[in-house]
Amino acid sequence: MKFTILPALALTVIAVQCAPRTDIIKDNVANAEVQLKSLVEASEAGDTVRIPSSYENGEIIYVPTDDWVSGFFAGTLWYMYELTGDEYWAEHARIQTELLDTVQYLTWHHDVGFMIYDSYGNGLRLKNIDGYKDVIVNTAKSLSTRFRPNAGILQSWNVDRGWQAERGWKCPVIIDNMMNLELLFKASEFSGDTTFAKIAVSHADKTMENHYRPDFSTYHVVDYDDETGGIRGRYTAQGYADESAWARGQAWSLYGYTMMYRFTSDSKYLERAEDVAEYLFDNPNMPEDLVPYWDFDCPDIPDTYRDASSAAIIASALYELSWHTDNDEYKEKADKIICSLSTPAYRAAQGTNGGFILMHSVGSIPHGGSIDVPLNYADYYFLEALVRKGNIEKGIAPVVK
């Protein structure tokens, strides 16, 4: 399958030369304080607190608690607390986090790892708040209901509603699902129940076996037969074509296997992450500023959209990868991405962009949703990358297990 991109929408980002600066973390934090305070105020105006996800056509977009992006704003505010030590951010992070209370029982999609770990996970790490561990363990129980033992994977999407029902899939697994595994490891640590970590390892191993092409780019979707464990087909959902390399999928892949090494110390995961990094940085379609186009194989390159969210995820993953491998080249690449994202080509002027930090992300072109807009997960991984960069530069681990 291939999708048509409306040419009228195509837009080229004019890259701005990025000079490495020593104060880049401080400068970004000062900027984020202004932007995110206005977003906190907007989200808390009115009778109910809302969860901002994007800014489109002059309006902040808010999402319900069961949306896959519902935990990122809470997580963004937790990172602001980590970066500043200012209790203002912890107070509002906690409000956003606890809005998601019912997500721990959500079983109809796989994204609960993202949603709860970004919010409750960060809150627990930074403030050790009573009850947050229980939320994480309950979420792991809910996510585990999606484990299909014959295939050895967690099913990503249900196929009985929405556009997923139209594709004829039986048990689709998307590369993004690697990101939900972090929560499973923590749930095993908190509960003593090793089942969750075993599910994470099984899912990661099957994904490593079945999602990758020989060049270490990844398919977006692998459809399994959950009864036989066989593969029914390999597809895209959000990329240009089934055989193309959707940029954010490659970013989740890099991040996912780097994180797997953090929890298991199994070198096969680190090797996979390094193979993915090689694919990314040897790719002739990777732009000079290292902010990818939305799909590495989009035939319209260079006249198509960049995806700042992919760049931010890749930067954050690379800081961790540089630590595990003791390879400064990964940090240099991550620094370059952060530098690019900090230029006016991607970082919004204060008082604009609805209060989001970064411009120019792509949600899903095939679905016509959130194209060339700010997205809350771009901001989340951007701040996470700044935290990790700061830690490495202080000589401490960028991320703790």
DSSP secondary structure code for residue 221 in this structure: E
Peptide bond into 398 cis (omega under 30): no
Specify the residue, 114 or 132, whose C-beta has the smaller distance to ligand GLY. 114
Token duo for residue 316? 């954050």
Between CA 120 and CA 126 the distance in angstroms is 10
- Residues in region 54-93 near ligand GLY by CB under 6 A: 68
Quick check: 146 binds ligand GLY (CB under 6 A)? no
Instruction: Give Cα 55 to chain centroid, integer Å.
Output: 18
Cα angle 386, 389, 390; round to 5? 85
Specify the residue, 62 or 68, whose C-beta has the smaller distance to ligand GLY. 68
Q: How far is the CB of 155 from ligand GLY (least distance, A)?
A: 14
Q: Which position among 54, 155, 238, 322 is part of the footprint of ligand GLY (CB under 6 A)?
A: 238
Q: How far is the CB of 390 from ligand GLY (least distance, A)?
A: 26
Output the furthest CA–CA distance in the chain (Å, rounded): 55
Quick check: 248 binds ligand GLY (CB under 6 A)? yes
Specify the residue, 53 or 97, whose C-beta has the smaller distance to ligand GLY. 53
- Residue number of the CB closest to ligand GLY reads 176
Quick check: 316 binds ligand GLY (CB under 6 A)? no
| C-alpha pair distances (Å), 355 with each of 13, 58, 314, 329, 374 | 20, 11, 23, 33, 9
Q: How far is the CB of 109 from ligand GLY (least distance, A)?
A: 10
Q: By CB under 6 A, how many residues form the interface with ligand GLY?
A: 4
Specify the residue, 295 or 335, whose C-beta has the smaller distance to ligand GLY. 295
Quick check: 226 binds ligand GLY (CB under 6 A)? no
Q: Which position among 106, 152, 154, 176 is part of the footprint of ligand GLY (CB under 6 A)?
A: 176
Residue-wise DSSP of 178-190: GGGHHHHHHHHHH
303 is catalytic: no
Catalytic, out of 23, 66, 111, 275: 111
DSSP secondary structure code for residue 107 in this structure: -
Specify the residue, 188 or 238, whose C-beta has the smaller distance to ligand GLY. 238
Token duo for residue 264? 């298991």
Dihedral of alpha carbons 397, 18, 341, 279, sign: negative
* Three-class DSSP category at 32: helix
DSSP secondary structure code for residue 295 in this structure: B
Catalytic, out of 176, 226, 295, 307: 176
176 is catalytic: yes
Which residues are annotated as catalytic?
111, 176
Binding site for ligand GLY (CB under 6 A): 68, 176, 238, 248
